[in-house]
Structure 1
Amino acid sequence: MSLRILLMRFGIAAAGGALLAFAATTPAAGADQEDPRESKQIAKGEVIARTGLVLRGAPTRGGAVVRVAPYGEIVKIYCRAEGQSVSGDRQWHLLVDGTWARGSAQYIEAYRTPRLCA
């Protein structure tokens, strides 16, 4: 076995050991911090777009499509912000469902007014 292969294997083993040591000493994500998806500031709403609501990565109709929320889905709204107008409504909701997608407020009936995004 060549010296080069030995050094490469040693480097991989050392990197793996360092990663394990880091994982063992780092507290789990959110161990002492509040998960924003479980915050009391999260508002809920219902998708009212009959054909489903296209959720996007940006508050514009040209933003990348993240997923489509079906009619009647209950969504968690982290905050609201202004974006591109959709049928005269410039409000967009940032949803927390693991994807952090944005949906036009025109097609989400919020049960209470979501807070403004920072």
Structure 2
Amino acid sequence: MFPKSKPGKLALYALSGALTTAVAAGPAVAVSSGDDHHKKHKVYKGKVIAKTGLLKRRGPSTKYKVVGSNPYNKVIKIKCKVNGENIKGNPRWYKLKDGSYSFSSARYIMNIGKAPRWC
């Protein structure tokens, strides 16, 4: 349906002109500030609560190779969390930020501050 009144036609032409300009200009691109970038790479912290120490593994399961360990009470850096093998009722594993590609069960880590984001 096309408007019959002059004001209606003008409004339609203005709208179509604005739409054409927007389409010709292309999609809007969001520019991220340094703060957004920083949030993506936030380092979380946790404390080892396993009395015998914390094993670091190549993946989020006991089936993965052990690549190191951390002693009881040590404060560790955590990059993010994933779902993995359920350890004593807890399926969360933390990807550690320690210079190696390793994971540890969240069951044996107490968060210091906020819980890590999902990977």
Bin of the TM-score, shorter chain as denominator length? 0.5 to 0.7
**What amino acid maps onto 2:118 in structure 1?**
L
- Which runs of 5 or more residues in structure 1 are unaligned? 1-35
1:102 corresponds to? 103
Structure 2: how far apart are the matches of 1:108 and 1:96?
14
Residue 107 of structure 2 aligns to a residue in which SS? helix
> CA offsets, 1:45-77, max 9 Å, x none?
000000001110000011110101110111100
Structure 1: how far apart are the matches of 2:51 and 2:101?
22
**What amino acid maps onto 1:114 in structure 2?**
P
Larger radius of gyration: 2
After the TM superposition, which parts of structure 1 deviate over 6 Å for at least 4 consecutive aligned residues? none
- Give the Å deviation of 1:110: 1.0
Name the count of aligned residue pairs. Answer: 79
The TM-score normalised by the length of structure 1 is 0.64
- Give the Å deviation of 1:83: 0.1
**What amino acid maps onto 1:81 in structure 2?**
V
Q: For the aligned residues, what is the CA RMSD?
A: 1.2
- Give the Å deviation of 1:98: 1.0
> CA offsets, 1:12-61, max 9 Å, x none?
xxxxxxxxxxxxxxxxxxxxxxxx9xx4x110000000000111000001
Identity of aligned residues (%): 38
Q: Please, which of 109, 115, 118 is the counterpart of residue 116 of structure 1?
A: 118
Alignment of 1:69-80 (within 5 A): 69-80=70-81
1:57 corresponds to? 58
- Which runs of 5 or more residues in structure 2 are unaligned? 1-37
Structure 2: how far apart are the matches of 1:80 and 1:103?
10
- Give the Å deviation of 1:100: 2.3
Structure 2: how far apart are the matches of 1:49 and 1:104?
10
Residue 60 of structure 2 aligns to a residue in which SS? coil
